[in-house]
Structure 1
Amino acid sequence: MNDQHNYDTNGIDDDGERDGETETETEKDLYGILDKRNIEKVVLGDHEFDTWYGNAVYFLKNEPQELAFKFMNKDVRSRNNLKKFLEFDSSHKYWLSKLYVCDSCFKYTDDELDCLKHRSMCKYKIKLPGRTVYKDDSKKISIRKVKGKRHKLFCQNLCLFAKMFLNNKSVFFSLDHYDFYMMYGDCNETNKISTNDTQKSNYLIPKGFFSRELLSWDNNNLACILIFPPFQRQKLGQLLISFSYELSRFESLISGPEHPLSEFGEIGYLNYWSKYLAREFLEGSLANSTEQDIKLKENDNINDITQVITLEEISIKTGFRIDDILMALEYMGCLAEKKNRNIYKDYELKNQNDIQNNEKLSSLSSDSYDVVLLKGKIQEWASTRDISRSIIKENLLLY
């Protein structure tokens, strides 16, 4: 089977749109929206694993038995039959048992041999897309910036693949205004080209990515993020999240991810925010308490509060949005409301507008203390976790 036909088309023209199709409202409602998994398994390089969500975009509209790229140069509009689609869907648990995906460029097929042949000669196996923006030689990890406008087909196929693991993924083809930050790592595996021949490979493969919208009204630094299933539980997600904030700090932006977060995304971000805040309060830019100050827990005198700090100050020092800071502090269990006059407080979180410039702590009345941050709780939370940095700033190549 011709490799060019199978991999370089995928039903997408040079402008990132599918050829020769006019969508009715009914087709729009069905196409790309599924409430079940329609592909049972994915074979990404030498890794085989289950999908998490359905993806109808790989297939012809209302033709779930056919991958769309095979009919790019054919007029198939007359084949779009809703009744036929419903009959097929009701009688088949999965539209496709296995989808074979190149682990260098994400081009896909339902034919294992075609995929093996393509992988042996894929151009992205030798020349990676984009440019390096982070490189850690000790961990053999790098991050490359890939422009959606310049590498359209690569990014389109990446988004199609990601849809099977991101339930809210909805942008696949119009990617000119997105940058993709690809995480690459070593591949030291045996690739079976045929039953009688094996080829030892040592090349870089993508292990995850995050996308970033170039024109974001909310200054989001991340649109979606995914570590591919075979490479999860290696703290790679924390590294990508950390890198997204380094980009924002490099641009002097207070930023964060696009909301709402997915269930797994929220877990990842809460861990990152909490560890970063704990590190800053205990040993970083927000840590100005001595050992004696920490022992103030034994003192009930409200006038002995060691420091007043605003949410805006925390936001400026960390680069986090205020709402995200509050989510993390609540997650750590270190926030408390004042219930009486004799409550221990290390820090008070107040709106900047309520504090006049150069106003001293002693001039604030006790009634103004509403929410406090308990530093002892931060220490307790951090004592059971590794809060070390996940990114090495010296490895950044942002210039």
Structure 2
Amino acid sequence: MSNKPTFFFCKSAAQLEEGCTLSVRMEATGMWKPADILSIKTEGGKRQYYVHFLHFDKRLDDWVVEEDLNLSSVRFPRNCSTAKRKLADEDLPVANETMTRSQQSQLPQKSVDEINAIKNVQWIELGKHRIKPWYFSPYPQEMCAQPCIYLCEWCLKYVMNATCLARHLVKCNLRHPPGEEIYRKDTISFFEIDGRRSRTYAQNLCLLSKLFLDEKTLYHDTDPFLFYIMTVFDSRGFHIVGYFSKEKISDENNLACVLTLPPYQRLGYGRLLIELSYVLSKCERKTGSPEKPLSDLGLLSYRSFWSQAILDVLINQKYHDSENKITISINDISEKTSINIDDVIFTLKELELIMYYKSRHIVCVKSDVVKNHLKNKSKPQLRIDASCLHWVPKEWNSSKKH
């Protein structure tokens, strides 16, 4: 018996139910892609369908209308009733004009039980920016029912409308995150927030970041964490750009969560956040690593940072005139960069710089890698200036209150 999914022609979108798979038009590109229907609702007498595009990030999940659905090839979920199936053109399989045979054969058997949380916030307004969220975040239900949630950009308090926000701003005395400023250069500052001392701010920050981080689970228990908020300064105050968090007590991880808010992405701020986490590790005389597993985007950011930091060390080493080889160990690289040894080895392998020679592993820096590295370094980029950091590591004892 064939295990390939069977597709049916639906006479009406009313026959569709949660768990169905069909071809849907993507708003961003106008292209038709296979998608699962995760939820169905009716607004203004018109049905809407919340869909997840297969093999795409969940941030592209969205509500669509009937005009965006291709009813010529629908796969019903396994638990769909026989009566429901018979409504679909007498169960006659048809060829799908918008999916390739390869795509059809690779579609997973989707269970409604596997459906993840649906995006519940339409828009947020933070300062001068109105932002469309990517993922679900557990804001109060009455807030989520509004077209837009308004956030105070200073304390991150959330309110229902612009009028409530205006009233709040009259009373809000903050013009920067409620912590100690530990770094300032030009218009960029970092503030250290204790998740216990500034619990409300930290929880509001976690709610905000959950809108843009799919795997983030932290919300209520912020006490064990420190938050490092990056801001840009102007005449009005210090505006939040992004942040990273780290556990107060951790033997290995120097970063738990990192986010650059969408209006500030692709400007080099993400790299700056990562770099600061390692500068703090150097101050602690430790090596560090981000909490695993990393997201796809997180891994790309870290690979870029690790590669540049490690190549900086290798290229700056002196060569023996006679043997023409770098006199440095992986432990030395880890110590100089504060990058965990496993991450150093991973990066060297990714760059194909580790070779097996005369019964031992050696690091071989190739000329094309050096050329690309120097070319990338010549481009303007934001960097942490350690001389502008004013921070002393704290001793956190697990046996006492944080």
Structure-2-length-normalised TM-score: 0.64
Residue of structure 2 equivalent to 1:288:
318
Equivalent of 2:385 in 381, 388, 392: 392
Alpha-carbon distance between aligned partners in 2 of 1:250 and 1:375, rounded to the nearest angstrom: 32
Report the Cα offset of residue 128 of structure 1. 4.1
User: For residues 316 and 120 of structure 1, what CA distance do their matches in structure 2 show?
Assistant: 49
* 1:159 aligns to 2:206 (yes or no): yes
- Residue 50 of structure 1: aligned partner: 132
What is aligned with 1:38? 120
Q: Which has the larger helix fraction? A: 1
Task: Tell me what 1:274 maps to.
Answer: 307
Contact 1:133-1:398 at 8 Å conserved across structures: yes
Between the two proteins, the alignment pairs up a number of residues equal to 276
Deviation at 1:148, TM superposition (A): 0.8
- Structure-2 residue corresponding to 1:206: 240
Write the distance in 1 (CA, Å) between the matches of 2:348 and 2:135: 32
Contact 2:319 2:325 in 1 (8 A): yes
Distance in 2, matches of 1:277 and 1:377, equals 16
How far apart are the structure 1 equivalents of 2:309 and 2:301?
Answer: 12
What's the secondary structure of 1:312's corresponding residue?
Answer: helix
Provide the residue aligned with 1:307 in structure 2: 326
Indicate the residue corresponding to 2:232 in structure 1.
185
Residue 368 (1) aligns with residue 359 (2): yes
Q: Do structure 1's residue 257 and structure 2's residue 301 form an aligned pair? A: no
Secondary structure at the aligned position of 1:132 is classed as strand
- Assess if the C-alpha contact under 8 Å between 2:288 and 2:338 holds in 1: yes
For residue 183 of structure 2, what is the amino acid of its counterpart? Y
Number of the residue aligned with 2:149: 99
Alignment partner, residue 117 of structure 1: 167
Q: CA deviation at 1:162?
A: 0.6
**Secondary structure of the equivalent of 1:205?**
strand
Letter in 2 for 1:156: Q
Q: CA deviation at 1:119?
A: 2.6
Which of 294, 319, 322 in structure 1 is aligned with 2:338? 319
Instruction: State the 1:96 CA deviation.
Output: 4.3
8 Å contact kept, 1:334–1:378: no
Query: Partner of 1:168 in structure 2?
Result: 215
Residue deviations 1:151-181 (CA, integer Å, cap 9, x gap) = 1111111111110011111111111111111
Letter in 2 for 1:289: Y
What amino acid is the match of 1:208? G
- How far does the alpha carbon of each residue in 1:160-217 deviate from its partner, in whole angstroms, 9 at most, with x for none? 11100111111111111111111111246xxxxxxxxxxxxx211211111111122x
Q: Quote the offset at 1:288 in angstroms.
A: 0.9
- Is the counterpart of residue 337 in structure 1 residue 355 in structure 2? yes
**C-alpha distance in 2 between matches for 1:161 and 1:132:** 21
Kept after mapping to 2: 8 A contact 1:221/1:244: yes
SS in structure 1 at match of 2:375: coil
**Shift in Å at residue 117 of structure 1?**
2.5
The residue aligned with 1:342 is none
Please give the TM-score of this superposition, normalised by the length of structure 1.
0.64
Q: Which has the higher contact order (CA 8 A, sep 6+)?
A: 1
Identity %: 31
Question: Which one-letter code corresponds to 2:127 in the other structure?
Answer: G
Alignment of 1:13-24 (within 5 A): none
Task: Output one character per residue of 1:195-247: Cα deviation in whole Å (capped at 9) or x when no partner.
Answer: xxxxxxx211211111111122x421111011111112221111111111111
Aligned partners of 1:34 and 1:54 also within 8 Å: no
Whole-angstrom distance in 2 between the partners of 1:159 and 1:280: 36
* 169-178 vs 380-389, which moves further: 380-389
Q: Is the 8 A contact 2:155 2:174 kept in 1?
A: yes
**3-state SS of paired residue (1:383):** helix
What value does the CA root-mean-square deviation take over the aligned residues? 2.3
| Equivalence for 2:190 | 143
- Cα deviation for residue 327 of structure 1 reads 2.8
Deviation at 1:106, TM superposition (A): 0.9
1:247 to 268, 280, 296: 280
User: 1:309 Cα shift?
Assistant: 3.4
Quick one: distance in 1 between partners of 2:126 and 2:234? 12
Deviations 1:263-314 (A, max 9, x none): 221111111111111222223xxx1138xx6xxxxxxxxx945235332221
For 2:255, the equivalent position in structure 1 comes to 222
- Unmatched segments (≥5 aa) in structure 2: 1-114, 393-402
Amino acid at match of 1:391: I
Check the 8 A contact 1:208/1:227 in 2, yes or no: yes
* 1:130 CA displacement: 0.9
